[in-house]
Amino acid sequence: MGGVLVTGGAGYIGSHVVRQLGERHEQVVVLDDLSTGHAGAVLHGELVLGDAGDATLIRELLQDYRLDAVMHFAARTVVPESVSDPLKYYRENSEKTRALAEAALEAGVENFIFSSSAAVYGIPPSIPVEEDAPLYPINPYGSSKLVSEWMLRDVAASGALRPVSLRYFNVAGADPGGRIGQSTPEATLLIKVACEAAIGLREEVAIYGTDYSTPDGTGVRDFIHVEDLASAHIQCLDHLRSGGQAATYNVGYGHGYSVREVLEAVERVHGAELPVREADRRPGDPPALVADTGRIRTELAWEPRYDDLDEIVRSALAWEQKLCGAHA
């Protein structure tokens, strides 16, 4: 067994995967430019400061460390920014995925795990959404992820690479041990925003849209604990190393919570009301987005351990309180 190159491993999701890899004594090399990641979040392995699109550096790392797998998390992920600057997203997401895949091929590394997104579906015609559903992204972020998936699919068809693309739904929560979590300033993830509002770091939390065709009029999303998402990557790595084929998997829980239900959970865990403001819908937000997770559960025997909204919120709130104390 070799080791794993993790691009973006100092970021939110990547750092949790690096921690799980380290806990099972994998050799890990993290490549991150620290533009949004944090060196302190890398709890295992070696951190190399560099760009995920630097093909020469990637080839050197894969060969010098004799790595046998790549996990690619490095990406831009802010949807409104992708709308205002789409070429940045095709450059940072699609083009760098191409360069990384090419470098992996040149180094003879076949095992490639790609961080994709449910944004590739756009507004799905039915819920829950299966992997074979139509792919109609409604913003450049989703399109940049889909282009990356297509490139990897086509390389896989040539027999040169065995990629697994994981389509994330709404990631939330933090390491139950309190060591790492979501540290991105000005984050837009609902549970993080609500927890920041709970401890006074934000004046309010906004509900964007109260007139959707959902049970309470607010958007419904499939929230998955970052620990369970990380474990899915570990099982994909084992799948590829045992000779498994290229695949695409949704990663969620298969059921959703509305914005109001999430805010009620934060109030319940925190023990106080949140300052809430109702606002108009945001363009392009689907009414509901929930994963069909049958494929990953069947093919990889993946079983989540943290499928409980209050538990997700509890870990997220504890992390925000820790960050607040560190900055006090």
**Residue 166 in 3-state DSSP?**
strand
Instruction: Find out whether 32 and 85 touch, Cβ atoms under 8 Å.
Output: no
Distance between CA atoms of residues 234 and 27, nearest Å: 13
Looking at this protein, which amino acid is placed at residue 321?
Q
- Kindly state the tokens that stand for 4: 């794993």
| Close Cβ partners of 93 (under 8 Å, ≥ 6 residues apart) | 75, 76, 141, 144, 145, 147, 148
Q: Is 12 a catalytic site residue?
A: no
Q: Which of 12, 65, 141, 257 is catalytic?
A: 141
Q: Report yes or no: 192 and 271 within 8 Å, Cβ to Cβ.
A: no
- How far, in Å, are 27, 125, 236, 253, 314 from residue 308 at the CA level? 32, 27, 23, 10, 10
Bridge partners of residue 72, in order along the sequence: 7, 114
Which residues are part of the catalytic machinery? 141
